[in-house]
Amino acid sequence: MSIFKIIFFGLVLILPLCLKAEDGSKLWLRYNPVSSEDVKSRNIRLISSADEISNVAKEELEAYWGKQSIELKLDKSQKRLKDGFIIQGDASKIQLTAYSSVGLLYGAYRLLELQHLKENLQTLNIVEIPSFDIRTLNHWDNLDGTVERGYAGRSLWQWEDLPGKLSPKYEQYARANASIGINATVLNNVNASSKILASDYILKVKALAKIFRKYGIKVYLTANFASPKTLGGLVDSDPLRKEVKEWWKSKVKEIYTEIPDFGGFLVKANSEGEPGPQDYGRSHADGANMLADVLKPYGGVVMWRAFVYNPKADDRAKQAYDEFLPLDGKFRDNVIIQIKNGPIDFQPREPFSPLFGAMRNTSQMLEFQITQEYLGQSNHLVFLAPLFKETLDSDTYAYGVGTTVAKITSGTFRDNKKSAISAVANIGLDPNWTGHDFAQANWYAFGKLAWNHQLSSKQIAEEWLKLTFSNEVDFVKPITDMMISSRETVVNYMMPLGLHHIFAEIHHYGPAPWYEVPERVDWRSTYYHQADSLGIGFDRTIKGTNAVSQYFPPLDSIYNDVKSCPESYLLWFHHIPWDFKMRNGENFWNSLCYKYYSGVKEVREFQKTWDKIEAYVDPERFRFIQSKLKVQALDAVWWKDACLLYFQTFSKMPIPYELDRPVHNLEDLKNIKLDMKHHN
């Protein structure tokens, strides 16, 4: 977009030029088609043997590349590149070299991105190799078209129309993923229906796989562990029983007959009521290895989730570690343990899961959540790259200083057969794909960090803004600053200083620190904050549940000591007195109040920042985001009032007098019941 700046009575007025109506459907792929003059001035030449994927790379460049000539070349001596590429060239010609055809495709998208960002393309010497082998989106989509924790409309997958009718959205989806280096997709919910493995559904999946294949994307499915019984009619699904193994062997053969490049299975087992090997007295390793053995002849992998918890343990945060660490070294080499970034459940802030690095003889992969289940869903602007980076860059000390989560999962410290990273998708049928235009940035950020975990949040935000909205510095700088601070803002107005999981249950939208349910203690908000007349917080020190012992030195000692524990995790690891003196000299209660109020203030500043850049954004997206920020500001006050008024019933201390008084009454807030049936 261009703008005019004129001086009128001493004032600089910014007038928009040619702002086109936008619905957000183009994501960050707003390339301008090449002109006839550009076609004459360059030549796009594929000098290697053509295949489906390299042809797509050539077609993308022919459609949108408006600069010098390009040669696309496969070099089988460059095995180190994996899916990566080399771009070299000058003002007359560029050579794009890759080991694989998908590397050519990724290189083509990188060139188009650089062109759109208006980078200097006269002297290029770029080498990019992906950080992770498998870079996957996990879709929590159900076969009935609903999406669990989905806030962008119904499922992208139109199962009732497949395989005969193919939505154009499928190819658009594949193209968007390929443009940011994502090469795998799990189509169905981790709370899986066995029906996805039925023969008619395999043919539906085959139709999708054919579209995705030319964009270098492999299809995976979540397998319900009870499928031999529920789908195959066997008496049980005991993984060590011969008939069960034979059923899976036959089913896997059927899948690979139809989909030769099928990636494998994701499995959620013995968690939240889902079936698993423990139903038959078997271990997670027994279950995972049985599936791994039948997949291995085809090159398939098992991604076995470590998200397990039950109401009997003394601390939910410890359960995955306690259950999986004894199994270290017992998994096949084509099993990868998929571990959520934190030990609870995708909270706005958690310390990294202590399983990372602890399982020295088992491949591990990260699981992030792009969909904003606990972060205001599709109503709140929350840029998640800082959250992703916080985990990736966390030092576990498993092999000494510098043993970051990123290095452990990408295979730096052990020879993983395949390294992998995943994130729960936020994609639906809404025109803008994600329910909030800025939520697109989180899909983009995950892909970029899966490709190169060393990128900074700022770099990703700036690139996404320029590709999605405008290159103008007066737009990019303030909105980048807003995006970078947004995650900390939401922590401040929701759950600062280590508070966690005090959401309204079921839908997880809005505060309910008072929430209690009789049947399970670990579903109660009160279980997580432990507020009483003495203080607040979950004691995980050696005098409490001793969760600190699951971390390597020196972290165990740092977290255990209230004097050295980072204040951002204070209530995660400690039960803090209300009058505890913080490092800034304030008592704890006042510090908690200031955090909540700062979150509210920051969202109001976001509103002002957005209003100031109106000239740079099309009216449709400007007004849409403006309305979302209004909701977010109201929600921030809701969170602040609900939490402080409730916790004040324990602290018996006044809210600092220089702060505005709460605008709600506690009993009114407790009575709020949201109808989430149509909440997106």
**Residues labelled catalytic:** 272, 345, 373
C-alpha–C-alpha distance, residues 640 and 596, integer Å = 5
Concatenated DSSP letters of 183-237: -EEE-S-SS--GGGGSHHHHHHHHHHHHHHHTTT-EEEEEPPTTHHHHTT--S--
What kind and span of H or E run contains 456? Answer: none
User: In Å, how far are 499, 640, 642 from 593, measured between CA atoms?
Assistant: 13, 8, 12
- Residue type at position 73: K
Contacts of 54 (CB under 8 A, 6+ apart): 46, 48, 72, 74, 101, 104, 105
Torsion angle of the four alpha carbons 29, 34, 35, 40, in this order, in degrees rounded to the nearest 10: 170
CB 487 within 8 A of CB 388: no
Cis check: omega of the bond before 554, within 30 degrees of 0: yes
Pick from 633, 648, 657, 348: which is nearest to 508 by CA? 348
Instruction: Specify whether the CB–CB gap between 129 and 103 falls below 8 A.
Output: no
Do 82 and 136 contact (CB within 8 A), yes or no?
no
Measure CA of the first residue to CA of the last residue in the chain; give whole Å. Answer: 30
562 contacts 575 by C-beta, under 8 angstroms: no
Contact status, residue 296 vs residue 332, Cβ threshold 8 Å: yes
Q: How far is residue 172's CA from residue 174's CA, in Å, rounded to a whole number?
A: 5
3-class secondary-structure state, position 616: helix
Is the separation of the CB atoms in 366 and 410 below 8 Å?
Answer: no
Q: What is the spatial distance between Cα 253 and Cα 199, in angstroms, rounded to a whole number?
A: 12
Calpha distance 286→301 (Å, rounded): 15
DSSP 476-507: HHHHHHHHHHHHHHHHHHHS-TT----BPTTT
Q: Report the alpha-carbon distance of residue 470 to residue 3 in Å, rounded.
A: 10
* 363-369 vs 335-340, strand pairing mode: parallel
For the chain, the residue count is: 680
Contacts of 657 (CB under 8 A, 6+ apart): none
Whether the CB-CB separation of 114 and 133 falls below 8 Å is answered with no
